[in-house]
Chain A
């Protein structure tokens, strides 16, 4: 058995697939290839596969990660090509890396880069917004919705108008320690940026990062 790290993207046409549906979809995809999964032990054996960080419904992405165990000595390009040939349109494996131990540890992911395209009224001044010492907005936690200061978890934010919409680029905390969704950042923009009202927006997760570094 060998473990592989897969980097993949998800496009517009499949962006509404939920996390659980994606896991099922990936199982079926591998079944359509001649690659052999490693199955878990137990009553209901299932393929051994971990998605680094679930992607919200409606969000597209360029650099998602998962770790998969295969029962066989496959080359990296073999895995990439076979899975890409079997995936539904909209998904693509961008890179595959075989790992022996923890040289790539997906649990170390601590931030994500997003591009948010928003219908917004008013001119947004990112510098002024980032100058706030605190940004307190309701945030979903395990124990319900609570007011929280999200300013420390926005590492970088810029915005510029383009074709009638405002394009926000941001790097925010992501992962198991603290996860900040772009939706929450948009709530803060609505609350703290004078004269700016954000309406409908759509998000794209450009990268999952460990510090300022991408794995593959």
Chain B
């Protein structure tokens, strides 16, 4: 029999993005479950299937016999066109059923530039975009992930957000949903009031935002007795014992991270002042090496993957790294499995390790000094010196590596032209190190890549008050850097300033931006993080038509007494600590990491991890 899907799938690239049916997917009988949940990732299959959070929550929900959690991803532009032509609604991968009348849809908000895809996916499912326009016949729409900490720009779309780590809270909100559905599911507000009492749940419609005449916020206050004045994020206190799936879906086509990912710890103790992840995932918690080795064995056997990677923000800070890597090497050498070790500092130990891991292939090594001069690295509290970089690269070149990538940011607070030019200097010094290694000790064809991204100030960082550099200023800095790099052995990559600009607007945006996002999608914006599909002019039109000046959100320095759109959210790290860090940044004073000396950030209140070692 020829079906409509046959015809559509014959006209799109990578059809296995849309068919489901992969090994280890969760298949249930729709009649046997009470809750149909769609886990929505607002980007392509290949990106979505590389995301660890999805894998955890997918299996966490499917452990429930009353719930079937399925995956829903953004159809690529060719498929969107086919769906429009055939009037098909967005469907879930496992069942192939339309999601239009599912019970719940949960979006993970990983980056601001995916907001347009959230709206587009709802439109593709023919679900009203704004929460207030959705009756009880439509799914409850919830969100989580790092952008949920300031989800104000999409607050009108979502019924609620889950702040922090979702392993427990997602089950609690589904439990309440089951109760509500059993009671007849008459008034959505009843459900939202019930979950507003759960720690970590934020129901945006239960908060009223008042504005000053200068467009800053006057107040954010609950308008419902069930809503807490401050919503505190959730964490898994005992990370070693926290639920983690011993199963993994194996995609047919290649995805970005096509391997077993072993989450060795959560959080980071470094305190880089620009880094949102470094603050919002505090405190640092580790999983024991025995737990991880057992997990690695299970995940490799159930998937058949021939590659495994450690996942964390800074693997070198993992206290049982030696035990873990030795155990993993034993496992992987025997089974001819590749082991990749991202975010490792280069020292004698890691060099030894890399030699064993990469017996044959020598892949590239990446350093992230983030800034070109020591002065600026002190401002951002990036604990890496020029000496570190040069010593490490000398070691690498002697070890036969010739592919070095250097990552920097431009547009950091306090940055001068000298700091930008310092990037070129540092790259040149790395090249000099290569030539100082005797010819017989180094491999041929040195290749240095310098990449700069444009700094975007984020909520819950020491720089949350800082102005973002204008597009002109970023382009100027990219140009002086381009001209300062003279060697043809050094390649320079940079980011488009338009995408950083838009990301900056939404990162620290408020509720008034919601109309802009919806308007932009109506004008055809989606896949904004894909350069080929980013339509900056359409976005600017949307701002204009909504009467909103985007510069207000990212080009202005905020004062400490301004009410920030995320002031009613509590991530554990206090505002006064962030102010202190911002002042220390201005004075160029670094702050020691959590293991050296507690800086009193506030995360100790969670009573977990590194704070209580």
Contacts and interface: CB of A to CB of B under 8 A. Distances in A.
Given A14-B252, A16-B16, A89-B21, A58 B304 contact: no
6 contacts: A24-B254, A32-B304, A44-B361, A88-B21, A88-B23, A200-B2
B336 interface: yes
Contacts of A57: 15
A119 interface: yes
Interface in A6-63: 13-14, 16-18, 21, 24-25, 27-32, 39, 43-45, 57-58
Contacts of A21: 16, 252-254
Interface residues of B, number: 27
Interface of B is mostly: loop
B9 interface: yes
A195 to B, nearest CB: 21
B252 to A, nearest CB: 5
Interface residues of A, number: 31
A28 B302 CA distance: 9
B302 A32 contact: yes
Contacts of B84: none
A31 B306 contact: yes
Contacts of A43: 360-361
B216 interface: no
B2 A117 contact: yes
A202 interface: yes
A66 interface: no
A28 B10 contact: no
Contacts of B226: none
Contacts of A161: none
B441 interface: no
Contact of A25 (B15, B252, B361): B252
A58 B303 contact: no
A165 B7 CA distance: 14
A12 to B, nearest CB: 9
A208 B20 CA distance: 28
B15 A16 contact: yes
A86 interface: yes
B360 A44 contact: yes
Interface of A: 13-14, 16-18, 21, 24-25, 27-32, 39, 43-45, 57-58, 86, 88-90, 117, 119, 163, 165, 200-202
A25 B306 CA distance: 11
Interface in B168-190: none
Contacts of A28: 23, 250, 303-306
Contact of B304 (A30, A39, A202): A30
Contacts of B1: 117, 163
Nearest to A34: B301
B31 interface: no
Interface in B1-42: 1-2, 6-7, 9-10, 15-16, 19, 21-23
Nearest to B305: A28
Given A21-B252, A44-B360, 13 more contacts: A14-B21, A16-B16, A17-B253, A18-B253, A25-B250, A27-B304, A28-B304, A29-B304, A30-B304, A31-B304, A32-B304, A44-B361, A88-B23
B2 A32 contact: no
A16 to B, nearest CB: 4
B21 A13 contact: yes
Contacts of B304: 27-32, 86
Given A27-B306, A32-B303, A88 B253 contact: no
A37 to B, nearest CB: 9
A164 to B, nearest CB: 9
A18 B336 CA distance: 25
Nearest to A33: B304
A198 to B, nearest CB: 12
Contacts of A44: 360-361
Given A16-B19, A27-B304, A28-B304, A45 B336 contact: yes
By Cβ-Cβ distance, the 5 closest A-B pairs, closest first, are A28-B304, A31-B304, A16-B15, A32-B304, A88-B23
B300 to A, nearest CB: 8
A86 B303 CA distance: 10
Contacts of B7: 200
